[in-house]
Amino acid sequence: MIRKAFVMSVHAGYEQEYKNRHNPIWKELEEEIHRHGGRKYSIFLDRITKTLFAYIEIEDEQLWKKIDETPVCKRWHAYMKEIMPSNPDDTPVSRDLEEVFHID
């Protein structure tokens, strides 16, 4: 498995709405994440900075990169764009993080 981490953010005042929209996550989105090799996906919120830290384990980098093109992901991104910084294609603004340490 490949461990990936990235950061995003949520607009101030929308922290609870962000949490509500993920609980429960759409079943079809969860299935698409799994179809694209995603496992053990967690998102954490820093309530002071509004930073979201995401961690996921994936099977294959190329397969994972294709998930944003699926209809369910496009609908999800359109649904979330009002509560978090988003790119022109509605994907969330995010930055990948480099792993510098790991212990099992």
Indicate which residue of 22, 36, 77, 102 is catalytic: 22
CB of 64 closer than 8 Å to CB of 10: no
To the query of whether residue 77 is one of the catalytic residues in this protein, the response is no
Which residues are known to be catalytic?
A: 22
